[in-house]
């Protein structure tokens, strides 16, 4: 933990905006250097212009590759384009638009020339493809829409990010991202400056034949009553404090308050590319992570009790910069994301009569086993998938999965009628759901979590990092159960050694080991020379520490075989 974690940012912590912007245009990547190539992780291509990892060349090449992919797949409908408030998002938005228009793509840009949350892009794509109609979402045939979201999510202000969402509205799968990345790197090698681009009047939405303004905000906000009981929140008078953390949801929260007559304050409406209003995260960096107590310190201070033991708000919420993540604060403090997921699941599956009786619950394999216990108590099928929201997309589209959630505070769920809402993470509805839960049950999500603990037991959960070089990370990705020779973990017999997810038989890209009381999972980082260990124990913090220590040994032995 950094010595200044949780304290306000100082001038020396802030980026030089001009330097970041200049580097975007001035630095030229060398595609023979791995760190400067296009690489799609679980959430698109990310990097900093200062590291020659997110520059004009990358965006031009990726966008042209997406145009080529669209032609290859026959996607000829509108492409919905949006950006968040990171400083690199605006120039990347312009570079992408230049390439899209030159390729004759029918582009939908924000009618306010402002920021667009990730869930609003997903919602727009699905709506264009038939969501909310009797026919449902159409994923084949002419006129299919898709989209691009320009965001590095909660990453520091120096970073940029670029995501492609195909017609199903969610994150592109590895088949798509692999093809796009390979094609983009080919373009970098051949000469990205030969890519056709449109300039001048061709980029004016009022005159361009290829650009149309789209009101993302109104279309998204007006539809919220199809998924959240806004009337119940209004009737109960729930006092809400919403902090967009300087991100894309800043205008959305004010619009939600006005549209539905809620007692809701936008706690911090400021937008600044340096994010100078943030408190430092655990490692001393500015990071808009709404699941981090250090990054959320300002909002936690707003929720401190007064001398009468009362808080200013009943529920306070935070979103990351593109609003695909959520943070829930009650009088008890910031909720652990796993705890809130478990509460949200139990509430939704007991308060959504329009969902199918066989509608399953989706979780990633590094999410808490508390969710498993909740699913069992509800008599619902649990689908456990690898890390990556893309694995929930098919079930959300056809309504066979009612809720999909990740331990990193990202989730989405179905509309009241059991049809798809978004197939990308939606931090806005997850925040509003906390207020609905309080309005309907009379209890905060943290109070309901305590009740779950009384029924299912308390768990201790952590995520730690350990060093690993490129060769070790590659080995970790390809482990087999036979590579794990241990038969015990922290005093308990090992019951499963998994390298494929039980919910869809997809490769984990790592290892998960379970016992009757605990589990750990190990996955290599895609960007750093480390691997991550996720672990949970229902036998207390001391037992969890043993699990983590022995997990490192188990992984080391497996890597050395």
pLDDT tens over the chain, length 561 residues: 899 999 999 999 999 999 999 999 999 999 999 999 999 977 789 999 999 999 999 999 999 999 999 999 999 999 999 999 999 999 999 999 999 999 999 999 999 999 999 999 999 999 999 998 888 999 999 999 999 999 999 999 999 999 999 999 999 999 999 999 999 999 999 999 999 999 998 999 999 999 999 999 999 999 999 999 999 999 999 999 999 999 999 999 999 999 999 999 999 999 999 999 999 999 999 999 999 999 999 999 999 988 888 899 999 999 999 999 999 999 999 999 999 999 999 999 999 999 999 999 999 999 999 999 999 999 999 999 999 999 999 999 999 999 999 998 999 999 999 999 999 999 999 999 999 999 999 999 999 999 999 999 999 999 888 888 888 888 888 888 988 888 999 999 999 999 999 999 999 999 999 999 999 999 987 666 788 899 999 999 999 999 999 999 988 888 876
- Cβ(221)–Cβ(255) under 8 Å? yes
The structural domains of the chain, ordered by start, are 15-219 (3.40.120.10), 460-560 (3.30.310.50)
- Euclidean distance between CA atoms 535 and 551, whole angstroms: 9
Q: What are 315's strand-pairing partners?
A: 240
In three-state secondary structure terms, 381 is coil
For the record, the structure tokens of 409 come out as: 């505070």
Q: In the annotation, is 49 catalytic?
A: no
Which of 115, 123, 107, 214 is closest to 168 using CA atoms? 123
State the Cα–Cα distance between residues 246 and 287, nearest whole angstrom.
Answer: 11
Q: Are the C-beta atoms of residues 459 and 536 closer than 8 Å to each other?
A: yes
Q: Which two tokens stand for residue 529?
A: 């020379």
Q: Report the predicted TM-score, pTM, of the whole model to 2 decimal places.
A: 0.96
Check 39, 153, 412, 537 and give the catalytic one: 153
Rounded to whole angstroms, the maximal C-alpha distance in the chain is: 70
């Amino acid at each position: 933990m950094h010595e200044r974690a949780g304290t306000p940012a100082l001038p020396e912590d802030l980026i030089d905006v001009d330097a970041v912007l200049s580097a975007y245009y001035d630095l030229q990547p060398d595609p023979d250097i791995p760190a400067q190539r296009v690489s799609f992780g679980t959430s698109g291509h990310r990097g900093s212009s200062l590291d020659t990892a997110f520059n004009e060349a990358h965006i031009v090449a990726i966008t042209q590759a997406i145009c080529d992919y669209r032609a290859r797949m026959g996607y000829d409908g509108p492409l919905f384009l949006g950006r968040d408030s990171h400083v690199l998002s605006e120039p990347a938005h312009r570079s992408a638009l230049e390439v899209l228009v030159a390729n004759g793509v029918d582009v939908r840009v924000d009618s306010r020339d402002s920021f667009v949350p990730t869930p609003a892009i997903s919602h727009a794509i699905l709506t264009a493809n038939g969501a909310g109609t009797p026919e449902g979402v159409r994923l084949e045939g002419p006129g299919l829409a898709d989209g691009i979201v320009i965001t590095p999510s909660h990453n520091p202000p120096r970073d940029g990010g670029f995501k492609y969402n195909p017609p199903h509205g969610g994150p592109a799968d590895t088949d798509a991202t692999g093809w796009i990345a390979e094609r983009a790197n080919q373009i970098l090698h051949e000469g990205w400056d030969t890519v056709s681009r449109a300039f001048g009047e061709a980029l004016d939405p009022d005159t361009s034949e290829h650009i149309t303004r789209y009101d993302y905000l109104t279309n998204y906000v007006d539809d919220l009553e199809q998924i959240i009981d806004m009337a119940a929140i209004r009737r109960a008078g729930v006092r809400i404090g919403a902090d967009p953390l300087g991100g894309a949801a800043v205008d959305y929260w004010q619009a939600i308050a006005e549209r539905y007559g809620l007692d809701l304050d936008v706690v911090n409406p400021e937008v600044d590319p340096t994010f100078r209003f943030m408190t430092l995260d655990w490692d001393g960096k500015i990071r808009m992570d709404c699941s981090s107590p250090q990054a959320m310190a300002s909002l936690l201070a707003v929720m401190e009790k007064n001398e009468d033991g009362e808080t200013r708000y009943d529920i306070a919420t935070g979103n990351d910069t593109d609003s695909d993540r959520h943070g829930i604060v009650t009088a008890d403090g910031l909720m652990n994301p796993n705890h809130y997921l478990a509460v949200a699941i139990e509430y939704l599956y007991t308060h959504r009569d329009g969902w199918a009786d066989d509608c399953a619950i989706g979780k990633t394999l590094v999410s808490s086993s508390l969710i498993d216990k909740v699913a069992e108590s509800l008599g619902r099928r649990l689908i456990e998938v690898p890390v990556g929201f893309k694995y929930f997309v098919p079930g959300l589209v056809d309504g066979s999965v009612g809720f999909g959630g990740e331990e990193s505070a990202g989730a989405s769920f179905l509309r009241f009628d059991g049809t798809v809402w978004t197939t990308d993470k939606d931090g806005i509805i997850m925040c509003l759901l906390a207020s609905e839960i309080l309005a309907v049950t009379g209890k905060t999500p943290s109070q309901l979590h305590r009740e779950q603990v009384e029924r299912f037991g308390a768990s201790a959960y952590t995520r730690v990092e350990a060093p690993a070089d490129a060769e070790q990370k590659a080995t970790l990705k390809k482990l087999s159960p036979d590579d794990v020779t241990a038969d015990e973990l922290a005093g308990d017999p090992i019951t499963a050694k998994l390298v494929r997810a039980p919910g869809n038989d997809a490769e984990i890209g790592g290892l998960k080991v379970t016992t009757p009381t605990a589990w750990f999972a190990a996955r290599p980082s895609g960007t750093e020379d480390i691997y991550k260990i996720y672990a949970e124990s229902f036998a207390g913090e001391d037992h969890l520490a043993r699990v983590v220590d022995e997990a490192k040994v188990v992984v080391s032995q497996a890597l050395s075989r």
